[in-house]
C-alpha cells in the first residue's frame, strides 16, 4: 500500500459503514439500537451522536446494503427496523477485510519502533 | 463521530420539514423515525434508572441531527436532478432545464399537430382550431412546469403560488372555443341568408366543425383541470401528513417544552 491509494476520509466512511453493517449481523434493529450497540460493543470508542447515524443508515438503505421496514407499535405509531441484505453481507466482508488490512499495517508499524517505514 | 456543537432545540424538527429538496414522504418518515427512536431510547434509559428528564435529554443528544447531519441526510434523499446543483453552476443548470423543457413542449406540440392532421373530421377545420390548440400547448407547458416543480424539485410553495395559471389556461381554451363557435354561427347565419338552398350542407359542415372544436377544447380543459385537482390534493394531503408528523414528534420529543 502506498500513500497514494490510502484515502483517509474514505477510510473513516468505511469504518462507519462496517460498524453499522456489523451490528446488523445479529438481526434486525431500530436506528437507536444500532447507535447504542456500536457504542457498547466498541466500549465507547465509537459513538454516533447528534443524528450522524441516520444519513449513513439511509444511504446504505438506498444502496441496497440494508433494508428498512415499517411496522406499527401497539399505540398505532410507526417504527422502522433495519436488516442486513445479502449485498450488505458481501459488502461487509469486503470492507471488513480492507479495514483489517489497514489496521494490521498500522499495528506492524507501531510494533517496530525506531524503524523507518519502507 | 466528530466533536460537534449541541444540536438545536425545537428548530431541529422544523429543519427537517423545511428541507424542500427532499420529497415530502421522506421528510415525514424521518420525523416518525426520530420520534419512535427518541421515545424508545428514553424509555430504555428510564428503565435503567435514569431520571425521565435526563433520559430524554440524552436520547435527543444522541439521535437528533445537528446542522451537518441534516445536510448529509438532505444529500442522501435529494432527487438526482437536484444533486446536479452540487456539481454544476446554478446558471448552467437553469439553462439545461430550460432547454429540456422547451424541447419536451415542442416535441409534444409537433406530435399533437401530427395527430390532429390525421383525424378525418379535421378536413374542414374552424379558423379557431389553431388558437385552441395553441392554448392547449400552453396548458401542457404549464402542467409540465408545475409537475417538475412539485414532483421533481419538491417545491410545493412555488406550485401553490402559481398553479392558478393552469386553471386560467383551461378557462382560456374554453373561451377561445366558445368564441369560435359564436363566430361560426354568425357566419353560418349570413351564409344561410345569402343562399338558403345550401342550408342543409352548410349546417352539417358547421356542426361538424364546431363539435370538433368544442370537443378538443373540452378535452384540453378537462386534462388541465384534472392536473390541477391532482396537484392541489397532493399538496394538501402530503403537507397535512407532514404537519401532523411534525406536531406529533414535537409533542413527543420535546414533551417538557411543549406541555
Q: What does the pLDDT look like over A13-55, one tens digit per residue?
A: 788 889 999 999 988 999 999 998 998 888 888 888 778 899 9
Yes or no, beta carbons of B63 and A30 under 8 Å apart: no
Look at the alpha carbons of B43, B48, B53, B55 in this order and tell me if their dihedral is positive or negative.
Answer: negative
User: What is the tens place of the pLDDT at every residue in B66-121?
Assistant: 888 899 999 898 887 777 777 777 777 778 888 888 898 888 888 887 877 776 65
pLDDT of residue A113: 64
CB B121 within 8 A of CB B208: yes
Give B233 to chain A, closest Cα distance, Å: 24
Give A91 to chain B, closest Cα distance, Å: 19
pLDDT of residue A46: 87
Yes or no, beta carbons of A50 and B62 under 8 Å apart: yes
CB A37 within 8 A of CB A76: no
- Coil vs helix vs strand at A84: strand
Give A106 to chain B, closest Cα distance, Å: 21
* Mean pLDDT computed over A104-116: 77
Q: How far is CA B214 from the centre of its chain?
A: 27
DSSP string, B15-67: HHHT-TTS-HHHHHHHHHHHHHHHHHHHHHHHHTT--HHHHHHHHHHHHS--H
Rg of the Cα atoms in chain B: 28
CA A31 – CA A40 distance, rounded (Å): 14
B21-57 burial, b at 16+ Cβ within 10 Å, e below that, comes to ebbbebbbbbbbbbbbbbbbbbeebbeeebeeeebbe
pLDDT of residue A115: 59
| Percent of chain B topping pLDDT 70 | 92
- Listed in sequence order, the residues at least 6 apart from B191 whose beta carbon sits closer than 8 Å to its beta carbon are B198, B202
pLDDT of residue B6: 43
Give A69 to chain B, closest Cα distance, Å: 11
For B36, the closest of A49, A55, A79 (CB atoms) is: A79
CA B186 – CA B212 distance, rounded (Å): 18
Cell numbers found for residue A76: 398505532
CB B59 within 8 A of CB B115: no
Yes or no, beta carbons of A52 and B76 under 8 Å apart: no
Which residues in chain B touch residue A52, judged by CB atoms under 8 angstroms apart? Answer: 1, 65, 69, 72
User: What is the tens place of the pLDDT at every residue in A57-98?
Assistant: 999 999 999 999 988 877 677 889 999 999 999 999 988 888
| Residue ranges in chain B modelled with pLDDT below 50 | 1-8
Is B253's Cβ below 8 Å from some Cβ in A?
A: no
CA A86 – CA B51 distance, rounded (Å): 41
Which residues in chain A touch residue B44, judged by CB atoms under 8 angstroms apart? Answer: 36
pLDDT of residue A6: 67
Q: Compute how many other C-beta atoms are within 10 angstroms of the C-beta atom of residue B90.
A: 8
CA B73 – CA B19 distance, rounded (Å): 10
Taking CA atoms, what residue in B is nearest to A30? B37
Backbone angles phi, psi at A29, to 5 degrees: -145, 160
Taking CA atoms, what residue in B is nearest to A53? B63
Write the CA distances from B254 to A52, A58, B28, B168, integer angstroms.
20, 24, 17, 45
Q: How many CA atoms lie within 13 A of A13 on its CB side?
A: 10
Please tell me what DSSP assigns to residue B152.
I
Question: What's the ipTM?
Answer: 0.82
Amino acid at each position: 500500500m502506498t500513500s497514494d491509494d490510502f484515502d483517509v476520509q474514505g477510510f473513516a466512511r468505511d469504518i462507519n459503514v462496517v460498524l453499522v453493517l456489523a451490528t446488523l449481523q445479529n438481526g434486525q434493529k431500530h436506528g437507536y439500537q444500532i447507535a447504542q450497540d456500536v457504542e457498547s460493543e466498541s466500549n465507547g470508542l465509537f459513538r454516533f451522536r447528534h443524528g450522524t447515524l441516520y444519513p449513513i443508515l439511509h444511504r446504505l438503505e438506498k444502496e441496497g446494503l440494508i433494508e428498512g421496514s415499517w411496522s406499527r407499535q401497539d399505540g398505532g405509531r410507526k417504527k422502522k427496523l433495519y436488516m442486513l441484505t445479502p449485498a450488505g453481507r458481501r459488502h461487509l466482508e469486503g470492507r471488513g477485510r480492507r479495514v483489517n488490512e489497514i489496521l494490521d499495517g498500522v499495528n506492524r508499524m507501531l510494533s517496530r519502533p525506531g524503524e523507518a517505514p519502507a | 463521530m466528530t466533536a460537534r456543537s449541541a444540536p438545536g432545540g425545537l428548530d431541529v424538527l422544523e429543519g427537517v420539514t423545511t428541507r424542500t429538496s427532499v420529497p415530502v414522504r421522506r421528510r415525514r418518515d424521518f420525523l416518525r423515525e426520530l420520534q419512535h427512536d427518541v421515545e424508545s431510547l428514553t424509555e430504555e434509559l428510564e428503565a435503567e434508572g435514569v431520571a425521565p428528564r435526563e433520559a430524554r435529554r440524552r436520547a435527543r443528544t444522541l439521535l437528533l441531527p445537528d446542522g451537518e447531519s441534516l445536510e448529509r441526510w438532505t444529500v442522501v434523499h435529494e432527487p438526482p436532478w437536484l444533486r446536479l446543483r452540487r456539481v454544476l453552476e446554478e446558471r448552467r443548470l437553469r439553462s439545461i432545464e430550460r432547454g429540456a423543457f422547451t424541447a419536451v413542449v415542442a416535441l409534444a406540440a409537433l406530435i399533437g399537430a401530427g395527430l390532429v392532421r390525421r383525424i378525418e373530421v379535421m378536413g374542414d377545420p374552424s379558423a379557431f382550431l389553431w388558437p385552441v390548440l395553441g392554448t392547449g400547448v400552453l396548458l401542457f407547458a404549464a402542467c409540465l412546469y408545475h409537475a417538475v416543480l412539485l414532483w421533481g424539485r419538491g417545491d410545493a410553495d412555488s406550485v401553490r403560488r402559481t398553479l392558478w395559471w393552469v386553471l386560467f389556461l383551461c378557462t382560456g381554451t374554453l373561451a377561445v372555443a366558445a368564441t369560435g363557435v359564436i363566430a361560426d354561427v354568425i357566419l353560418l347565419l349570413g351564409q344561410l341568408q345569402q343562399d338558403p338552398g345550401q342550408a342543409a350542407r352548410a349546417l352539417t359542415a358547421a356542426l361538424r366543425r364546431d363539435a370538433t372544436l368544442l370537443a378538443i377544447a373540452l378535452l384540453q380543459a378537462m386534462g388541465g383541470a384534472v392536473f390541477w385537482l391532482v396537484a392541489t390534493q397532493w399538496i394538501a394531503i402530503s403537507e397535512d401528513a407532514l404537519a401532523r408528523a411534525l406536531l406529533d414528534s414535537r409533542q413527543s420529543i420535546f414533551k417538557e417544552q411543549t406541555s
